[in-house]
Structure 1
Amino acid sequence: MSTDVAAALDSLAHLDGVAEAADRAREATTRLRWHEGLRRRWREARAEAAVRSAVATVAPEGVRADAARLRGLVAAGETAQPAGAGASAGGAEEALVLAAWRAQVHVGQMLGELGGRGRPPLVPSGELLAGLHRDLTAHLAGAGVLPPDAVGRPRTVDQPREGGPLDPPATLRGGASATPAPVGAELRARTAAVLAVLAADDTPALVRVGVVHGEIATLRPFVTANGLLARAVARLLAVRSGLEPTGVAVLDAHAAARPGAYREALAAYAGGTPAGVAHWLRFQAESVVTGAEEGARVATAVRAGRVDL
């Protein structure tokens, strides 16, 4: 890890209110870690968290999903791309929710056992992003609305696509997305910086999660699905960094409930000022707190045998 990357992340941890927000996030996830429902049934809890995370993560993209419907499809084993997924808005939206669920399941496979001594080794950061992006967009290529060579491959000169459930709108409206996204050498340099932060172990966990989330969402390294990708990677990194050790917190519940505030916080991050970055990191901490509270509801429901609670 570059000492420059570590120093930069450490400096962000001292921005206004960030340390206090990180403490609140850790307190919330500590309470979740010792929830009685996770003693023996953490696998079921993670499975339910993947469903709720998929439903939550599509909400900032303008898609309203039904957790009960997704839960039923998962239980019936009907999680492949629906036939005629691109034929109607409803079919496109359901295909998007299923793609988000597959990405969340992929994240779960990389978390390791709760309380286990070791975790599965992560693939290199570039392969990680490509793999999750394939989860999120393979159905678009299958429906003929995205070129196959745009699946799992960072864009070079193409600009991100926006509009409609098959091409999720950019997370920022009137912010970073109002101007062309970087291409060429600038895109490569900033993507390399994201990969460096992903690999930056032993740095402040909240800052690391927030920077990776914010950078992917605002840099938009792929043609589409960048917001979904950013949030999936944030969940993975939150667990792997120790910020949220259970894998049961539904980190996207906060953005789903407050999409306008989410876009505002990302726009503040994209502005690059210390105040803007601090605002975003505090929002990320609030997302962890809200996600841990939702995770506790998941654990309670699993313990009661009622995941629809």
Structure 2
Amino acid sequence: MSDPLAVIAQLPGVPEAVDEAREAVDRLYRHRVLRRRSPEVSTESSLRGARASAAIEGADVPLETLRRDEVTDPIVQGALRASAELGRLGPTWRKAPRQVLARLHTVAAAGLTTDLGRPRTGDEAMTARMDGLLTLLATPTKAPALVMAAIVHAELAVLRPFGTADGIVARAAERLTLVEYGLDPKSLVPVEVGHLELDYADGLAAYLTGTSEGVASWVRQCASAVTLGVRETTAICEALQRG
């Protein structure tokens, strides 16, 4: 049986980038604050991740404004709802990814469209590629979770299956994959923060070329986003430790 994700995992520079991200996550999980305050850190990480995801879409609001619940922008609200929904969708992601994506779009795109949770019609190439992605998710692979998450993210972002809030859905699906496939089981790492700090559009443009170099570049960028997300969570832990 072919394993295309495993092939991607061996592209130039990818194994080293994935290992570096994995080691960063492992170091984070040993932080003493997480022994008792892991849920608190996860909640804060979720908030920061949602803020970053909305900022990538052009709706950049200060973190403190979010804490005061003063934001009515539908993009920001959608990112917050999608982030909050991840904890309930984990067990379904492996079994029924199409259902999960529909749910993520429903919460992410409320206020942006009335056609919630329904993929665009009339684009046979997009539909076929989406079917391929869902089949890939259901196929056993030896590839690391980070590689799978990177491909899920990129495919959803470039295919735009719903036509609205696709970026929010793509980044939420990436984070859900990192959680459910074992890299970050406690959902501590706001990978969205890392993507905000990096050249997000250029990374996706490289992926869209379809070349081995472009795909490898995107996966390496996702690994860097995880490492930057670890840095963000470490700062959260240090702040809690200081009281």
Tell me which interval the TM-score lies in, with the shorter structure as reference length: over 0.9
Equivalent residue number for residue 200 of structure 2? 262
For the pair shown, which has the larger CA radius of gyration, 1 or 2?
1
Asked if 1:198 corresponds to 2:145, the answer is: no
Output aligned runs, 1:260-299, within 5 Å. 261-299=199-237
Partner of residue 121 from structure 2, selected from 153, 156, 159: 156
Residue ranges of structure 1 left out of the alignment (5+ in a row): 83-90, 112-119, 141-145, 158-182
Output aligned runs, 1:172-211, within 5 Å. 183-184=123-124, 186-204=125-143, 205-211=145-151
Contact 2:5 2:141 in 1 (8 A): no
1:301 corresponds to which letter in structure 2? Answer: A
Partner of residue 174 from structure 2, selected from 224, 234, 255: 234
CA deviations on 1:200-242 (whole Å, 9 max, x unpaired) are: 4543122111110110001111111111111000001011111
Residue ranges of structure 2 left out of the alignment (5+ in a row): none
Equivalent residue number for residue 224 of structure 1? 164
Percent identical pairs in the alignment equals 39
Equivalent residue number for residue 24 of structure 1? 20
In 2, distance between residues paired with 1:303 and 1:247?
19
Partner of residue 97 from structure 2, selected from 103, 125, 143: 125
10 and 50 in structure 1: CA distance in 2 versus 1, 3 angstrom threshold: same
In 2, distance between residues paired with 1:199 and 1:128?
14
Equivalent residue number for residue 12 of structure 1? 8
Contact 2:92 2:100 in 1 (8 A): no
Partner of residue 105 from structure 1, selected from 59, 84, 88: 84
Query: Hey, which of these two has a bigger chunk of helix by percent?
Result: 2
CA deviations on 1:152-198 (whole Å, 9 max, x unpaired) are: 110013xxxxxxxxxxxxxxxxxxxxxxxxx12x2221111121233
Matched position secondary structure for 2:110: helix
304 and 251 in structure 1: CA distance in 2 versus 1, 3 angstrom threshold: same
Contact 1:104 1:232 in 2 (8 A): yes
Displacement of 1:11 in angstroms is 0.7
Equivalent residue number for residue 138 of structure 1? 110
1:132 corresponds to which letter in structure 2? Answer: L
2:15 corresponds to which letter in structure 1? Answer: A
2:6 corresponds to which letter in structure 1? Answer: D
In 2, distance between residues paired with 1:304 and 1:135?
36
Partner of residue 75 from structure 2, selected from 73, 88, 96: 96
Equivalent residue number for residue 47 of structure 1? 43
In 1, distance between residues paired with 2:241 and 2:92?
30
Q: CA RMSD in A?
A: 1.7
In 2, distance between residues paired with 1:36 and 1:199?
36
1:217 corresponds to which letter in structure 2? Answer: A
* Aligned length in residues: 241
2:44 corresponds to which letter in structure 1? Answer: E
In 1, distance between residues paired with 2:140 and 2:172?
18
